[in-house]
Structure 1
Amino acid sequence: MKKVKIETEYIKLDQLLKFSGVLSTGGQGKILIKQGYVKLNGEIITERGKKIKKGDEIEIKDMGKILVI
């Protein structure tokens, strides 16, 4: 599990996927989110602008997990 530290109150889901280095472009994140391959705290999320906060766990199908700290 990759840990990503944020300094703000929240970060948008698509920004987090790119910022974490798991994906190389925001476009990749947009596609994965739209296709239902991304989970937020165990639930599939299709809203790319979803606010992600400290303590949230993101799972990308076949790519791993990200814990926001």
Structure 2
Amino acid sequence: MREFQLSTEYIELVKLLKLLRIAQTGGHAKIIIEDGEVIRNGEPEFRKRAKLVKGDVLEIMGETIKIV
């Protein structure tokens, strides 16, 4: 499991994918989300601008990321 240290109240999903280099571009991040590759707290997440907060657990293409 990988941890992402949140320094603000939240981070948008598309921005997190770019920051962690899971997606190379914003367009690539949107495709990953639209294709249902992101599971947030056990549920598929299709909102590109979903606000991720501390405690959220994401599964993205086989990788688990916890927001701390």
Q: Distance in 2 between matches of 1:15 and 1:7?
A: 14
Question: Shift in Å at residue 6 of structure 1?
Answer: 1.2
Percent of residue pairs identical: 40
Query: Is there any run of 5+ residues in structure 1 with no aligned partner, and where?
Result: none
C-alpha separation between the residues in 1 aligned to 2:46 and 2:11? Answer: 16
User: What TM-score do you get using the length of structure 2 for normalisation?
Assistant: 0.89
Report runs of 4+ in structure 1 exceeding 3 Å deviation.
none
Length, aligned pairs only = 68
Question: How much is the aligned-residue C-alpha RMSD, in angstroms?
Answer: 1.2
Q: Name stretches of at least 5 consecutive residues in structure 2 with no aligned partner.
A: none
Matched residue SS, 2:11:
strand
Counterparts of residues 1-69 of structure 1 (less than 5 Å): 1-62=1-62, 64-69=63-68
Task: Give, in whole Å, the separation in 2 of the partners of 1:59 and 1:45.
Answer: 10
User: 1:61 offset after TM fit, Å?
Assistant: 2.4
- Provide, for residues 15-69 of structure 1, a one-character-per-residue CA deviation record: whole Å limited to 9, x for no partner: 111112333222221101001111111100100100000110111123x011111
TM-score, normalisation: structure 1: 0.87
